[in-house]
Amino acid sequence: MNNFKQIFLLLVFFCFSQSGFSQVGINTTTPMSTLDINGNLSLKTVVLIGSGSATIIDDGVYISINPQATDQEFKLPSAILFPGRVYIIRNINNTNTAKLTSAGGMLFPKNSTVGTIDIYMYEGNLRTITVISDGSNWTYIN
């Protein structure tokens, strides 16, 4: 009976350890990455309207922000709490500047070691940016 338990536990361990190295393919029979998609990808889109207090960004991937006044604040979640999180953010207002801040971590432009606590998004300057959490801070690409 003791050998049966050991063999059973060994099989269970083998099955679960193999699933840790699995690859998933969508529309492909030979995935080459952890997730391999052969086709189109759709992302959740959200429109956020600015308000008197900071508008929290907590849903969606492609986010259209619409400030109702100049320098209205839109706040990213903490980069520390959401490592690997990616947002694509676009200021869709043609007249008002949006102020982008973070609940945790600084904002760093790509290829820079100098961060800031906020960035301003307006026509001609950072109209659309992609932000990526590294687990400590946000890196932004325009």
Q: What percent of the chain has pLDDT over 70?
A: 85
CB atoms inside a 10 Å sphere around CB 85 = 18
Does residue 107 have a pLDDT over 90? Answer: yes
Q: What is the pLDDT of residues 45-72, one digit of tens each?
A: 999 999 999 999 999 999 999 999 999 9
**Average pLDDT over every residue of 76-90:** 96
pTM score of the predicted model? 0.79
What is the average per-residue pLDDT within 108-119? Answer: 95
* pLDDT exceeds 80 at position 74: yes
CATH code given to domain 45-141 = 2.60.120
In the chain, where are the structural domains located? 2-37, 45-141
86-91/128-133 β-pairing: antiparallel
